[in-house]
Amino acid sequence: MCTRLEMLLFSILSLVACMVSATVIEKSMHLSEVVVQYKVVLPDGYDPSKWYPAILAFGGGPQTMKQVDEILERNLRAEAERRGYIVFAPAAPDGVLFFQGSEHIFPSFLDEVLRDFNIEGKF
């Protein structure tokens, strides 16, 4: 049987664990005459002077910002917190899917991301 002190300690530790989380920022950039909206998940204690591993993630279906939010909340945000990497998750610009014409933005998109963030191994 747990004592009150043990229960209090468990509650405090649980609260602290919930307060430590990866930062999610929403960004956009103008590329090839389209605006690309995307989210970036930064690991706990992110330091812009340090180098981090990164992944490029895509939402399913219509590849909208709603799908980006879902994949981040369902899996990728927690993994970024746990593993200490950055996640870049773009939404398909103007509703044109990444495998139906919007893929042309990626050379410029990656160039911009690599200018803004220190990425280990450059993807």
- Taking the domains of the chain in order of start, what are their residue ranges? 21-122
**Whole-prediction pTM:** 0.79
Is 80 exceeded by the pLDDT of residue 99? yes
Closest CA to 121 of 40, 41, 53, 56: 53
pLDDT digits (tens, 9 = 90+) for 101-121: 889 899 999 999 999 999 988
Tokens of 48: 């812009």
In the chain, where do the E strands start and end?
A: 23-31, 34-42, 54-56, 86-90
Provide CATH code, domain 21-122.
3.40.50.1820
pLDDT digits (tens, 9 = 90+) for 15-64: 444 444 789 999 999 987 899 999 999 999 999 999 999 999 999 899 99
pLDDT digits (tens, 9 = 90+) for 61-76: 999 999 999 999 998 9
Quick one: pLDDT at residue 22?
Answer: 82
pLDDT digits (tens, 9 = 90+) for 1-25: 556 655 555 555 554 444 447 899 9
